[in-house]
Structure 1
Amino acid sequence: MGRSGGAAMTEHLTPAGLHRSPGAFTPVVRVGDLAFLSGQVAWDEHGNLCGEDHATQMRRIAQNLDIALAAVGCGREDVVKETVYVVDYRPELISGLFGALREGVPTAPASTMVGVAALFAPDVLVEVDVVAKVPTP
């Protein structure tokens, strides 16, 4: 499953409940006490896009983040850095996007929002990648 290099063990994880795309990307890579998540989009476990608007897609992305983070013993409260890519960005989208992403999370991580012309598929409107600090037991 993983291989070690230097002092930190590296694990490549594909948690149940997330869409699998073998050979294209690994959803979660843990290196020591950090977890790096590939960009999450509003796919269900079968690769179906959930939602036709930004806020609905972000709610599914939050669920996918919860699944991915749980695989390494984290939650969204453990995210230390996030990057949010938004197609057709407009300032009025911010409250709906961050409302869904921050629900139940006491503090916000370091964050970057990037407006983009397109993502990898025409109907995908939002993508979020994160880095989380894995809590010590």
Structure 2
Amino acid sequence: MADHIYQGAIMAGPYSAVREAGDMVFVSGQLPIDPETGVMPEGIEEQTRATLRNLEAAVRSIGLDKEAIVKTTVFMTDFSDFPAMNAVYADFFGEPYPSRSAMEVGALAADAVIEIEAVAHRS
């Protein structure tokens, strides 16, 4: 097993941003914060795009593409944003889509409106 911290990670606690276990890769929840500027965009569509870019950067840090992502969990502070998030998500991944769970939560770090974690598979 290997732990990885990719350059864009904004670490806020004792965890690995990316962790491999055999051929499985676990990516901690990604927020919509630009790793270079520390700025978070406004609105669910832009925050979803930024979060997915950070998720992609995490898997690329260990030599995988977003196509290796097989499962995601989406946390949102307002489930009425689901249709807008879903449209951005569909454009980002394309078919075959990862399996997914989505849920509304009371709050997220940095007052983000979305966070996404993932499981990827190394073939």
Q: State the one-letter code of the partner of 1:31.
A: A
* Shift of residue 52, structure 1, vs aligned partner: 1.6
- List structure 1 segments (4+ residues) > 4 angstroms apart after TM superposition: none
Q: Which shifted more, 105-114 or 47-56?
A: 47-56
2:8 counterpart of 1:11: no
Q: Percent same amino acid among aligned pairs?
A: 25
Give the SS at the match of 1:94. Answer: helix
Rounded Cα–Cα distance in structure 2 between residues aligned with 1:107 and 1:63: 18
CA RMSD of aligned residues (A): 1.9
Rounded Cα–Cα distance in structure 1 between residues aligned with 2:24 and 2:86: 23
Q: Could you list the runs of 5+ residues in structure 2 that have no partner in the other structure? A: none
Q: Could you list the runs of 5+ residues in structure 1 that have no partner in the other structure? A: 1-9
On the 8 A contact 2:72/2:99 being kept in 1, the answer is: yes
Give the SS at the match of 2:11. Answer: coil
On the 8 A contact 1:39/1:128 being kept in 2, the answer is: yes
Pick aligned residue for 2:116 from 128, 132, 137: 128
Superimposed CA distance per residue, residues 91-133 of structure 1 (whole angstroms, 9 cap, x where no aligned partner) = xx33321232332532111110001121133x21000000000
On the 8 A contact 2:74/2:115 being kept in 1, the answer is: yes
| Change beyond 3 A, Cα 1:100–1:119 | same
Q: State the one-letter code of the partner of 2:42.
A: E
* Shift of residue 85, structure 1, vs aligned partner: 0.3
Larger Rg: 1
Rounded Cα–Cα distance in structure 2 between residues aligned with 1:20 and 1:118: 18
* Shift of residue 71, structure 1, vs aligned partner: 1.8
Rounded Cα–Cα distance in structure 2 between residues aligned with 1:78 and 1:19: 19
Aligned to 1:5: none
Give the SS at the match of 2:54. Answer: helix
Give the SS at the match of 1:131. Answer: strand
Matches within 5 A, 1:35-54: 35-46=25-36, 48-54=38-44
* Shift of residue 69, structure 1, vs aligned partner: 0.7
Higher relative contact order (CA 8 A, sep 6+): 2
On the 8 A contact 2:73/2:118 being kept in 1, the answer is: yes
| Length-normalised TM-score, structure 2 | 0.86
* Shift of residue 22, structure 1, vs aligned partner: 6.8
On the 8 A contact 1:19/1:43 being kept in 2, the answer is: no
Aligned to 2:100: 111
